[in-house]
Structures are given as structure tokens and as C-alpha cells.
Amino acid sequence: QTLKQALKDNFAIGTAMNAWQITGRDTAATRIIKEQFNAIVAENCMKSGRLQPEEGKFTFELADQFVEFGEQNDILINGHTLIWHSQAPRWFFTDEEGQDVSREVLIERMKKHIHTVVGRYKGRVATWDVVNEAILDDGSYRESKFYQIIGEDFIKLAFLFAHEADPEAELYYNDYSMAEPGKREGVVRMVKKLQAEGVKIDGIGMQGHIGLHHPEIREFEKSIEAFADLGVEVMVTELDLTVLPSPWDDQGAEVSKNFDYEDKMNPFPDGLPDEVVDAFNARYLEFFGLFLKHRDKISRVTLWGVADQHSWRNGWPIRGRTDYPLLFDRDNKAKEVVSHIIQ
């Protein structure tokens, strides 16, 4: 049995794809994707800086190949992401003198970007992460250039432009730290407002970059429930589980209590010790147990990558580490936890 077969009555199971996988050079990962997953998302190639590095010059080669891969293999395609403060090109916000553009100009640029991208894949990319990471952990709006120049309306406008370009596409809001109570409340507030204004928003993506001890699973569950109560789909969109301490969550961590993350970049040079593997398995199973419990609310669970060697978590939040966050190991073999998820 494969992951997608085992989970098919519960939710779609997806993965992010990087350039090597999209172009077919990483044959091992590409084989795993076809075998195990029924949803894909572009890890980087659909971000605004990649699609429109210069004003009016769109580069669609990789994104086109990504969409073709999904179509050829009958896989659900998610577009990530139209409006995000990060990995956006500098020109987007500035004029020739390097000054911030006016509200009108930025709205026009947003509109052109969204219309061009969503329009190109109309009827082919089923779902879009329209806005990514607009709200902070305390529930207030992030002071991004979009927010500073346009105000909170940039969110509504992004959804309206996406809807204009493909009325059939499902439109999502995506963010991290969704288990934080303040963030949860801020997202609920924002979505309610959009709904009250008649804006089409179909779902909320919870990124799910988790650790062994953070977040508290009960807080994650409360957010699933709060988001589902809004009448939208809930998705876990970027799941990975770091076994390394993070600057903000290593206090109480059993496995990494005495770990000095400044000095010891790679605490497990010979691979993960048994007790860390046990903790890793238990944590993944706890979360998959939660997703299954709420399968009536959750439409998709997407891993942020296939195998450990490619995970962005080797470089985040600290560069140059060796992490083990995904379901397939550095030999592209399914980890033990996969057999438990499938059971």
C-alpha cells in the first residue's frame, strides 16, 4: 500500500516539488511522487520573484513543466503563492528612483501579476495560495510593503483579482504558526471580514513546520476547529518535523536539552539515535492521528518535500545543518513511520 491509497477516503496527500523533481533529474524523488502522492505544490517556481523577475518579463518554463507533470500524472495541482512579501522582486514595490510606488501603482502591479499567472493556468491549476503570511502571531497585520502601501485591502484585492482570472479556481489563505492563539484569532477575524464583504475564499492552509515539542497539538487542533467553523476547507500545507532545536523552542525539549545550537550544527553525525527516531515517529503519528480525527474538515495534507536531503529545514532557521524532517530518508527510502501512517 502507498500513502495515497491508504489515505484516499480521508484527505489528499501531497508534496512540494523542487526544480530537480519538476525537470525529472531527481528520478528517485519523481518516482516516489508518482507512487505515493496525489497532490503537488511548487516549492519555489511559482513565487512572484521567479515568475516575474523583471516588470512585464514573465518566466514560465519551470512552472509550465510543473503543471504538465501534475496533468500527466493526474495529480491535484496547487499554485503557491501569488502575493507574499518574501521572494517577491524588489521592483514590485519601487519606482525608478527606488522610492515606494503609490497605492494605485502597486494595486495595478498586483492585478497584472495575478491576472497573468492565474489566467495562464486557468482551468489547469485547481487551487491557489492567493495570499501567504499576511498576519503576525499576535493577530495583527504584518507590516509588509503590500500592507504599508495599500493597507489591509491588499488581501481582499488579491482574492478578487484571482477570482476574476479564474472563477472556478479554489482560493486559499496560507500562513505559519497557526496554532498560536493570537494568529488563530487574527486569521478568523480576517476571513470573516472577507466573507462579510462577499469575497470568495475557499480555504485556509496551515503550514505545519513543526518541531518535536512545538506547537502544542491541542492548540493546533483548536485552529483546525476554528477555521472549519468558518465554513471553509482546512489544509495542512507545508508539513515537516524538525528534530533539531530552534532558537525559540528548545527550552523544554527532551532530546535537545543540552544542545548548543550555536556550536553544534549537526548533533547527529551518525544518523538519528533510537530515542530521537522514537520521538519523531510518535510526533508524526500524533499529528496524523489528529488529521484523521478531523478528516471531515481537512481536505489535504501536504509535506514540504519528499526526502530529507532536499528539505529547506537543513537551512532554516539556521543554515548548514543536517535535519531529518520528512517521510523519506536520504536514500529515498520510506521511513519506518510511513508504515505506521499507512496502517
Q: Does 137 bind ligand XIL (CB under 6 A)?
A: no
Q: Does 48 bind ligand XIL (CB under 6 A)?
A: no
Q: Which of 38, 52, 78, 132 binds ligand XIL (CB under 6 A)?
A: 132
Q: Does 49 bind ligand XIL (CB under 6 A)?
A: no
Q: Does 44 bind ligand XIL (CB under 6 A)?
A: yes
Nearer to ligand XIL, 50 or 163 (CB): 50
Cell numbers for 142: 504584518
d(CA 283, CA 261): 22
Q: Does 144 bind ligand XIL (CB under 6 A)?
A: no
Distances (CA, A) of 93 to 85, 99, 109, 111: 10, 8, 9, 13
Annotate 139-201 with DSSP letters as a single string. SSBP--HHHHHH-THHHHHHHHHHHHH-TTSEEEEEES-TTSHHHHHHHHHHHHHHHHTT---
Residue nearest to ligand XIL (CB): 312
Q: Does 309 bind ligand XIL (CB under 6 A)?
A: no
Count of residues in contact with ligand XIL, rule CB under 6 A: 6
Specify the 3-state DSSP secondary structure of 1: coil
Q: Does 195 bind ligand XIL (CB under 6 A)?
A: no
Q: Does 43 bind ligand XIL (CB under 6 A)?
A: yes
Nearer to ligand XIL, 178 or 279 (CB): 178
Query: Residue written as cell 532558537?
Result: 247
Nearer to ligand XIL, 43 or 233 (CB): 43
d(CA 317, CA 270): 22
Site for ligand XIL in 218-247 (CB under 6 A): 238
Give the amino acid at 331: D
d(CA 235, CA 300): 5
Considering 43, 180, 233, 238, which one is annotated as catalytic? Answer: 238
Q: Do the beta carbons of residue 48 and residue 113 sit within 8 Å? A: yes
Q: Does 318 bind ligand XIL (CB under 6 A)?
A: no
Q: Does 312 bind ligand XIL (CB under 6 A)?
A: yes
61 is catalytic: no
- The residues that are catalytic are 238
